[in-house]
Amino acid sequence: ESEEAKREKYFYFRINADLKSATKEGTASNFIYDELTFLDPRNRKDSKFYIVDPNQERGINCRFGMRGVTAANHFDMSRNTIALFGGERRYVLASPSQCDRMALYKQGHPSVRHSSLDWSNPVEWDEHPEFKGALVNEVVLHAGDVLYLPTNWFHYIVN
């Protein structure tokens, strides 16, 4: 398929929400907490979602993507809890101890937290022989599954 056909057929978008802006009408934050009320720690008696100190909440990122959309291998500087509401999603995970095998972009690069090679393209693996020795785990999430991903864990995602 051409890139143009892929753009028409596939989509990926994200909505970010945080408590500070949740009180403003018409914001993504307001929408998230209104529609997914179980995530709103301000309603502790009604919420099944537990946050030790809601004042330390850093936000919620809701990501939506069609089948075939991938996210390049990267790590995040925060913890992630991934809940799948529908479909399936494949995660290839690696511990921070594998950092020297992840072929990361060099310091100063805008994508410094990302691998410089396309994990789905074995031809590129030859350019980074250290990558072939990386120890990874793979999990396929289905609707209703939840995955906790600690800080600095690498993850490559296939929808």
Residue count of the chain: 159
| Residue 113 pLDDT > 80 | yes
Q: How far is CA 15 from CA 4, 32, 62, 132, 135, in A?
A: 24, 8, 5, 35, 32
What is the pLDDT, as a whole number, of residue 56?
65
- For the record, the structure tokens of 15 come out as 């909505």
pTM: 0.75
Taking 90 as the threshold, does the pLDDT of residue 83 lie above it?
Answer: no
pLDDT band at 48 (very low <50, low <70, confident <90, very high): low
Query: How does residue 60 score in pLDDT terms, banded at 50, 70 and 90?
Result: confident
Does residue 135 have a pLDDT over 90?
yes
| Sequence-ordered alpha helix ranges (H) in 3-158 | 3-9, 28-35, 122-125
CB 159 within 8 A of CB 89: yes
Determine the pLDDT at residue 5.
74
CB 138 within 8 A of CB 144: no
